[in-house]
Amino acid sequence: MSLLQKIENIWTQIYGNEHDEMLHSFVAELQNFKQTHAIGPLPQEWYREVTVYSLYVDLFNHNFQGLEDKLDYLQELGVSCLWLLPILDSPGRDAGFDIKDYRKIRPDLLSHQPQDEVFDRFLQRAHEKGIRVIFDIAINHVSEEHPWFAEARKSKDNAYRNYFHWSPTDKKYEDARIIFYGIEESNWKKEGDEYFFHRFFDFQPDLNYENPQVFVEMTRNLMYWMSKGVDGFRADAIPYLWKEEGTACENHPNTHRIVKLFRAAVDFIRPNTLLLAEACQQPVEVVKYFGDGDECHAGYHFPLMPQLYKALELQSAEPIVHTLSQSITPNIPEGSQWFTFLRCHDELSLELVYVTEEDRKYIHDHYCKNPEWNFRLGQGISARFAELMDNNVDKIALMYSIMLSLPGTPVVYYGDEFGKQNDHNFYKEQIQLTGKDDTRFLVRGRIDWEQLEKELAQPESLSYQVYHRLSRMLKIRSQYPLFGRGDIQWMNTQKKQLLMYQRSLENEKILVVQNLSNQSVVLEQSSAQWSILTGHNYEFNNQLSLNAYGFVWAILK
């Protein structure tokens, strides 16, 4: 079946035949667009071989020019894909996830130059350095300042009214949980004599995908950016697209159909443009966003992340091995990929959707070291990675070793490569600006490059030590495609504090041994065939001893 036929079929499954005219003109538009733009495909599965670095353009280094100036820094660090946190025009009350114009970049990021010039040049420079670029696009909701909502709120008969969900009461979709628990009290906000639905902040009205025009418009936005040459999109808050009374309004079958439609359109215009699912859900639910290889190409492994922290605190490999076992993490379709992370721009999320109450409490009790870090009343911790690790370089390096050597595409959050600390001043500043007490702003401060450069010249500084350990691992990783594409074989050492596995692809094999405890441990297995690639806190002379939090990566001769 051709992609266009697929679009027609799925569209009809969702919308019936009522909007056939719109469907036909949409299909014609796709064909036209493809012909006019003729954008060559991206390499297949490129996202399985990269290391991602996520950043806010303004907080990282002021604007696109500033980011361009730091491409050498990023290349030197060893990353090969940038995930730009929201860059589109926005009042910035949810750090840009409240978009008011999907084709326009925020003016402050452009230093008074024309958008096309700045962005095209930036993309070209990044691509010349072998760095791919994806960015965030919120498809579930818009800013209340978006022109569609500005129109829709005017009157009940406004042509844009139906782009959003309205109700005469706030009692509809009562089974939909409140995601920003403790910050928002309802999923409805009064506007005139009706209420509109919002799954996140009350300034982010949810789009109504029951109206196919919404899907068409959003696809046009993706097409626009594909024509500019972006390598992919992070599909923010993807599980919530379709609402239905009597359901949790999450992971609805029609949400999956809409995702399939987006994917087919993206594949038609430019194959291998990445769609990355942001679905804070159990792996069994997240794998559904890979479809049969016809939804998203990749998805974050949300449940793994907190288990890495639990394993470290418990000094036991079990939570990691268990989470990645088939019983929790089902296989994903050929060519798909998990994205893994230690920290991101959000809190260390402990949503009960994928963490047990017991684990939530355990992780929160051990890692929420300051009441200010609490997010969503115990369902998350807002803190920078280094602070969660008590600024202990050994722990930091060990956690990076785990993330970088397990299956998946790893994501490094800007600043965490040098042990950036929480930014209390930035948090306070943002509370003032946004009017919401959102502790996630603690982890979103600006980089002080002058200071950083000084620290990176001092071998005894935390920044230097973290940066060099991470950078070494990133570079090794980039030389071995087996990390991104290979299999994993777990090795049982009979010592619960040891996390050991073999990664392999074709004839190449790398062994990884990691000590999750604060005590030395000796590995009794023979290691005569090993050639050590990197490691930390270890002694090796035909037998391996790992000191506290030590690890090695070894290639099998």
Residue 236 binds ligand GLC (CB under 6 A): yes
DSSP state of 94: T
CB of 208 to ligand GLC, least distance (A): 17
**Identified catalytic residue from 94, 278, 438, 455:** 278
- Residues β-bridged to residue 513: 500, 552
**CB of residue 331 to ligand GLC, shortest distance in Å:** 26
CA angle 337, 31, 33 (to 5 degrees): 80
Q: With binding defined as CB under 6 A, does residue 305 bind ligand GLC?
A: no
The pair of three-digit structure tokens given for residue 229, joined into one six-digit string:
């040459």
Among 59, 134, 138, 152, indicate the residue that binds ligand GLC (CB under 6 A). Answer: 138
Helix, strand counts (H, E) of the chain: 19, 22
Instruction: Decide if 236 is catalytic.
Output: yes
Q: Select 349 or 465, whichever has its Cβ closest to ligand GLC.
A: 349
Q: From CA 334, how far away is CA 45, in angstroms rounded?
A: 10
User: Would you say 340 and 411 are in contact if contact means Cβ atoms under 8 Å apart?
Assistant: yes
Least distance (Å) from ligand GLC to the CB of residue 345? Answer: 6
As measured in angstroms, the least distance from the Cβ of 97 to ligand GLC is 3
- Residues 243 and 197 sit within 8 Å (Cβ to Cβ): yes
Which residue number, 278 or 387, has a Cβ lying nearer to ligand GLC? 278
Q: Of 139 and 462, which CB lies nearer to ligand GLC in the complex structure?
A: 139
Q: What are phi and psi of 166, to 5 degrees?
A: -120, 150
Rounded distance between C-alpha atoms, residue 401 and residue 537, angstroms = 12
Give whichever of 205 and 319 is closer to ligand GLC, judged by the CB atom.
205
Q: What is the 3-state secondary structure (H, E, C) of 295-334?
A: CCCEEECCCHHHHHHHHHHHCCCHHHHHHCCCCCCCCCCC
* Closer residue to ligand GLC (CB): 250 or 278: 278
- CB-wise, 58 or 278, nearer to ligand GLC? 278
Q: How far is the CB of 157 from ligand GLC (least distance, A)?
A: 29
Kind and range of the H or E element at 25?
A: helix 20-37
Binding mask 199-218 for ligand GLC (x = CB under 6 A): -x------------------
For ligand GLC, which residue has the nearest CB? 97
Selection from 342, 431, 352 nearest residue 383 by Cα: 342
* Amino acid identity at 362: Y
What burial class does residue 75 get, using C-beta atoms within 10 Å of its C-beta: 0-12 exposed, 13-18 middle, 19+ buried?
middle
User: What strands lie across the sheet with 188-191, from one edge to the other?
Assistant: 166-167, 194-197, 188-191
- DSSP letters for 183-197: TBS-SEEEETTEEEE
Site string for ligand GLC, 412-451 (x = CB under 6 A): ----------------------------------------
Asked if 237 interacts with ligand GLC (CB under 6 A), we say yes
Q: Which of 26, 56, 83, 97 binds ligand GLC (CB under 6 A)?
A: 97
Dist CA 443 CA 427 (whole Å)? 8
Minimum distance from residue 432 beta carbon to ligand GLC (Å):
18
Question: What is the C-alpha to C-alpha distance for residues 365 and 352, in angstroms, rounded to an integer?
Answer: 15
Q: Report the SS3 class of residue 31.
A: helix
Phi (first) and psi of residue 521, to 5 degrees: -145, 145
Closest to ligand GLC by CB, 69 or 285: 285
CA-to-CA distance for 409 and 340, rounded, in angstroms?
A: 6
Query: Min. distance of Cβ 276 from ligand GLC in angstroms?
Result: 12
Q: Contacts with ligand GLC in 325-364 (CB under 6 A)?
A: 345-346
Question: Which listed residue (236, 347, 394, 438) is catalytic?
Answer: 236
Question: Measured between alpha carbons, how far is 468 from 475 in angstroms, rounded to an integer?
Answer: 11
In the complex with ligand GLC, which residue's Cβ is closer, 243 or 477? 243
Q: How far is the CB of 133 from ligand GLC (least distance, A)?
A: 18
Please tell me the count of residues contacting ligand GLC according to CB under 6 A.
9
Q: Report the nearest approach of ligand GLC to the CB of residue 438 (Å).
A: 8
Within 10 angstroms of residue 39's Cβ, the number of other Cβ atoms is 17
Q: Environment class of residue 535 by beta-carbon count within 10 Å: exposed (0-12), middle (13-18) or buried (19+)?
A: buried
Measured from the CB atom, the residue of 14 and 95 that comes closer to ligand GLC is 95
Please report, as ranges, the residues that interact with ligand GLC according to CB under 6 A: 94, 97, 138, 200, 236-237, 278, 345-346
Task: List residues with catalytic annotation.
Answer: 236, 278
